[in-house]
Amino acid sequence: MNITLVMAGDEEGGLEKHVVELAHGLQQHGHQVTVIAHEKYRDRLQVHFVAVDLSKSRRNIFVLYQLYKALKNENADIVHVHGNKAAAMVSLLLPYLKLKSVATLHSRKKNTKMFKAFNAVIAVSPNAAEVLDHPHKHVVLNGIEPPILNANIMKHTPPVVLAVGRLVPVKGFDVLIQAWKGIQNAELWIVGDGFEKEKLQHLITELDLEQSVKLLGFRSDIAELMQQASLYVMSSHYEGCPYTMIEALLCKTPMVSTAVGAMTMVLPEQYLCPENDVDRLNQLMRNALVDLEEMQKNYKAVYAFAAKELVLDGMLRNVESVYREVLNAE
């Protein structure tokens, strides 16, 4: 297939990582792939690349015309756009382009009307799919290249509970830090940067948790940290299908989480709690740390699922199936 992927914005996160890995994976599967995106992503993509600055207003006439010309020139079998903004921009152009189209919703959004113009829509979690009003919607969980595990890495002593993400309100790290109160003989490591860093550090000090809660900042060795950790925790208020969940499971690190996004589909129910519930999150972490061996047994089937379905090849098979359905439709 001749496939064009479209990505708006100029940020760094799960969506951008997803598009890069999807582009390379599709190319390795023998497809002809083009990516239309901001110039900053050119160097990390080893596929045909067309630079259009979609970080500007979604109604910028000049940018929309550039995007129209790029899509028309590529004349792909399938145009696959990622995220609400890209969907909003491309949906305005579809009436003037005779193209088959797919869009991916990467997290639950209130406004999804821009997805109605596409032949099919992919949601990265059941939670996100719930808000889509579309006759041809599919849930395709994210998949990644499996991390390279280091057999020499040992679990940290005392046990480490690891959390990874941008230090922003949606990740619920303030709730996590409050839920850590009273947990002993373990350490909480929070990895990531963001504008809430000072606020979170103040909260750690206020709760007298400096000895057991560490803000590690940005790190590039996430797989190694996952292997050192005895438990991974997510405290987010909402998510799609986060890469850190997948990394934890592929590193065979069990996790507890708020019941959001793909976690409700993948993780055992007994390890989920409501969002913003300090007491329940505290209890989940306490229970896990008391019997980590039992938790590992309960996660065997989850690890097997992740190794099959949450790796890049599994995701590619599912995405290609959606493409074929769209191309074969009348």
**Domain at 248, CATH number:** 3.40.50.2000
In this structure, the answer to whether residues 60 and 84 fall within a common structural domain is: yes
| Residues 6 or more apart in contact with residue 279 via CB below 8 angstroms | 179
Vertex 28: Cα angle to 26 and 34 (nearest 5): 45
**Structural domain contains residue 18:** yes
Which segment of 12-21, 61-70, 168-177, 204-213 scores lowest on mean pLDDT?
A: 12-21
In this structure, the answer to whether residues 71 and 35 fall within a common structural domain is: yes
In this structure, the answer to whether residues 188 and 86 fall within a common structural domain is: no
How many CB atoms lie under 10 A from the CB of residue 261? 25
The model carries a pTM of 0.79
Average pLDDT over residues 181-192: 96
- Residue 213: pLDDT band (50, 70, 90) is very high
In this structure, the answer to whether residues 293 and 318 fall within a common structural domain is: no
Torsion angle, alpha carbons of 301, 306, 307, 312, to 10: 160
Beta partners for 122? 104, 138
Report residue 276 as tokens: 């913003």
User: Taking a C-beta distance cutoff of 8 angstroms, is the pair 76, 93 a contact?
Assistant: no
In this structure, the answer to whether residues 73 and 171 fall within a common structural domain is: no
**Structural domain contains residue 150:** no
Find the distance separating the first CA and the last CA of the chain, reported in whole Å.
Answer: 18
Give SS3 for 274. Answer: coil
**Structural domain contains residue 152:** no
% of the chain surpassing 90 pLDDT: 80
**Structural domain contains residue 155:** no
How many CB atoms lie under 10 A from the CB of residue 84? 21
| DSSP characters over 11-59 | --SHHHHHHHHHHHHHHHTT-EEEEEE-GGGGGG--SEEEE--TTS-TT
Q: How far, in Å, CA of 65 to CA of 234, rounded? A: 41
In this structure, the answer to whether residues 317 and 305 fall within a common structural domain is: no
User: Taking a C-beta distance cutoff of 8 angstroms, is the pair 34, 47 a contact?
Assistant: yes
231-263 residue pLDDT tens:
999 999 988 888 899 999 999 999 999 999 889
271-282 residue pLDDT tens:
999 999 999 999
For the chain, strand residue ranges (E) read: 2-7, 32-37, 48-51, 78-82, 100-105, 120-123, 137-139, 160-164, 187-191, 213-217, 231-234, 255-258, 272-273
User: Taking a C-beta distance cutoff of 8 angstroms, is the pair 6, 235 a contact?
Assistant: no
Residue matched to tokens 């079998």: 77
Q: How far, in Å, CA of 81 to CA of 91, rounded? A: 10
Q: What is the pLDDT of residue 74?
A: 94
In this structure, the answer to whether residues 283 and 321 fall within a common structural domain is: no
**Nearest C-alpha neighbor of 144 from the set 298, 310, 289, 325:** 310
**Nearest C-alpha neighbor of 326 from the set 101, 142, 132, 156:** 101
In this structure, the answer to whether residues 183 and 278 fall within a common structural domain is: yes
Average pLDDT over residues 186-200: 96
Q: What is the pLDDT of residue 330?
A: 66
- Residue 181: pLDDT band (50, 70, 90) is very high
- Residue 157: pLDDT band (50, 70, 90) is very high
In this structure, the answer to whether residues 317 and 262 fall within a common structural domain is: no
Torsion angle, alpha carbons of 321, 327, 328, 329, to 10: 110
In this structure, the answer to whether residues 196 and 263 fall within a common structural domain is: yes
**Structural domain contains residue 49:** yes
100-154 residue pLDDT tens:
999 999 877 778 899 999 999 999 888 788 888 899 999 999 888 888 899 899 9
Pairing state of beta strands 100-105 and 160-164? unpaired
Q: What is the pLDDT of residue 130?
A: 83
In this structure, the answer to whether residues 24 and 121 fall within a common structural domain is: yes
Q: What is the pLDDT of residue 176?
A: 98
In this structure, the answer to whether residues 302 and 315 fall within a common structural domain is: no
The total of structural domains in the chain comes to: 2
| Residues 6 or more apart in contact with residue 138 via CB below 8 angstroms | 120, 121, 122, 123, 129, 318, 322
**Structural domain contains residue 240:** yes
Q: How many angstroms separate the Cα of 6 from the Cα of each of 20, 37, 78, 123, 322?
A: 11, 6, 11, 16, 17
Q: What is the pLDDT of residue 97?
A: 93
Average pLDDT over residues 187-200: 96
% of the chain surpassing 70 pLDDT: 100
User: Taking a C-beta distance cutoff of 8 angstroms, is the pair 201, 178 a contact?
Assistant: no
Q: What is the pLDDT of residue 241?
A: 84
Report residue 255 as tokens: 């996790």
- Which range of residues forms the domain containing residue 195? 160-309
Q: What is the pLDDT of residue 256?
A: 98
**Structural domain contains residue 263:** yes
Indicate if the pLDDT at residue 83 is higher than 80. yes
**Structural domain contains residue 153:** no
